[in-house]
Amino acid sequence: MEKAQSLAAPLGRVLISLIFIVSGIGKIANYGGTQGYMVAMGVPGMLLPAVIALELIGGIAIILGWKARVAAFLLAGFSLVSAVLFHADFSDQMQTIMFMKNLALAGGFLFIVAHGAGAWSVDNGGGR
């Protein structure tokens, strides 16, 4: 069981972070479109650089297990805020699913806040 736990922590960090890294890269690739969407949803477009930085730096920090509790706290908050701002149209089944996905991500990040990065993380000296 100890071996499974040792492997689950780094794998879990990678899996929960990939969506943010891919999304951050996508926002860079479609900067104007993303900024326009934010503005259309009532969010100031000038926040886009901060969003990209949080997604990329936070996602990488979680994967590495570096300052994982802080990064996880920030990404949990981001997930909750973006759920409310962008996915709260419960008449649209896809938006409801996206809302619930964001809640699940926030929950996973709160586990990292509570328990730390786990094995194979910078926070734990890089080893098991």
pLDDT, tens digit, for every residue of 35-91?
A: 999 999 999 999 999 999 999 999 999 999 999 999 999 999 999 999 999 999 999
From 74, 89, 99, select the one nearest 20 (Cα to Cα).
Answer: 74
pLDDT, tens digit, for every residue of 89-101?
A: 999 999 999 999 9
Contact 117, 125 (CB under 8 A): no
**0.85 surpassed by pTM:** yes
Angle, helices 48-64/68-86, rounded to nearest 10 degrees: 140
pLDDT, tens digit, for every residue of 2-16?
A: 888 789 999 999 999
What pLDDT is recorded for position 6? 84
Tell me which H or E stretch contains 5.
Answer: helix 2-29
Pure H helices in 48-92:
48-64, 68-86
- Residue 110 to residues 33, 70, 74, 90, 104: CA-CA distances in angstroms? 31, 10, 10, 24, 10
Instruction: Region of 43 please: left (phi>0), alpha (psi -120 to 50) or beta.
Output: beta
Instruction: Report d(CA 14, CA 47) in Å as an integer.
Output: 26
